[in-house]
Amino acid sequence: MKKLLPVLIALIITTCCAQAREEGLEEVVLDSLGEGVEISDDVDINIESYKKEPKTESSSLPESLFSGETPVPDSEKTLREKLSDAYHLEIDKIDRPSYLFKDILTKEYSEKSMMDNIHVWGAHRGHWDYTINDGAENHSNYEFNSINIGIDGTLKNHVADFRLMMGIGPRFNHNLTRTMFSDVFLASNKVPHHRFMVGYMRPKVGMEGGNSAYTLHFLNRSQIARNYGTARRIGARVIGDYKLIEYELGGYSSDTYFHQFFPGGEFVGWVNFKPLGYTNGKYGKLKIGGGIDAGHRTDSFCVAGAYVGYEYKKLFVNFEWANADGSNGGSSGVQSTKNSTGFYTTIGYRITPKLQILARYDQFDPDKNIRHNNRREYSVGLNYFVKGQALRLIVNYVFCQNDSAKDSHRIMLGTQILL
């Protein structure tokens, strides 16, 4: 892995330079209740999310454009009118979080102010869970995957922004002081195609491990994501996004959940290549990438991963693999010294703009030094996007097949709401 890192960085620099010339630079197994529950989750941190966009989330144009009426500016609308807009909101995009009451809970500042706006928001994601254990007692309970409140602020002309996000849901194996803050960061967007961030945040350890809970296809992350990519760290990172390549490179303290001040350093890097980047989606979207998470805490650790994902119209297919010689991203907050590996593959199809069907195969070996201890999860799911990711209903069925434990079945009925 030490030999791979210089090659990886050189490849990024070479590709970015070419792009600049061309563009002009502008553990946890599912059948164990209470384990694997997300302590708190963030909204996706990517460059697209911070580009200045029209305020409406709707894909349909207002009737006033055709009737000759003058549209009422958002600043002049009454609360009742804004609530009516939220009720009639239509959201097509599901690759990023959207908010039901964004217009109501956003304060716009005057041109003389250094601030552009401040958005206060809340989010909840949870599910009712019924588990059927072979030869053991069945369980039924409600799990709070994540409950967050946040404040997002944007400076004038979107040159910089900040986030303060807190998790207020139930905690497992952590006290309140260690899990109260989910995201606390300051970011600069001044350099074209780039985003520089410093603070407390979730590194991109794997594709699914680095994604927001509010854009996940299933209620729970894959096993490699739950074991390698859950914990946040204090550090700094740079995110780059071009037509043919996107990447994240960051340096962090290897401490998680504020256990120690600085037990060691940690590097997290991920690169995706986009071979179809110049086809404008005509042949779909293809991402091929990989990365590493390496550092030292109580011991040295290194996680390597690879990803392939393809989207075409209503269909998507992906595959992700990871291998760990020790890891530092589990929800327990404690470094693992075990050699482990796993992979998953998912296929999904949007039957209608609001209804999506999914299937996944997920395998994980928690300790490669022990034979016959693999854990497999066979999942199917339905997502009903009432208002995009802002209001979503989720149904999952999971068959958990374990080499060294009893098999089990899980039925989960979930809701997601972002205000």
Rg (CA), the chain: 22
Q: Take residue 284 and report the two structure tokens written for it.
A: 């779909």
Phi, psi of 143 (to 5 degrees): -115, 130
Contact 125, 416 (CB under 8 A): yes
d(CA 30, CA 220): 8
Q: For residue range 300-345, what is the model confidence (pLDDT) as tens digits?
A: 999 999 999 999 999 999 999 999 999 999 888 889 999 999 999 9
Closest CA to 165 of 127, 207, 214: 214
Q: For residue range 212-253, what is the model confidence (pLDDT) as tens digits?
A: 889 999 999 999 999 999 889 999 999 999 999 999 999 999
Closest CA to 140 of 150, 148, 149, 130: 130
Q: Take residue 69 and report the two structure tokens written for it.
A: 């009426």
Confidence of residue 31 (pLDDT cuts 50, 70, 90): very low
Written as one letter, the residue type at 296 is: H
Confidence of residue 28 (pLDDT cuts 50, 70, 90): very low
Cα dist. 397→8, 31, 102, 379 in Å? 39, 12, 33, 6
d(CA 412, CA 418): 20
- Burial (CB < 10 A; 0-12, 13-18, 19+), residue 82, is middle
Confidence of residue 418 (pLDDT cuts 50, 70, 90): very high
Could you tell me which residues come within 8 angstroms of residue 16 by beta carbon, excluding any fewer than 6 positions away? 240, 242, 245
Q: For residue range 96-139, what is the model confidence (pLDDT) as tens digits?
A: 899 999 989 999 999 889 999 999 999 999 999 999 987 677 88
pTM: 0.83
Confidence of residue 408 (pLDDT cuts 50, 70, 90): very high
Count other C-beta atoms under 10 Å from residue 79's C-beta: 8
Assess if CATH 3.30.465.10 describes domain 27-418: no
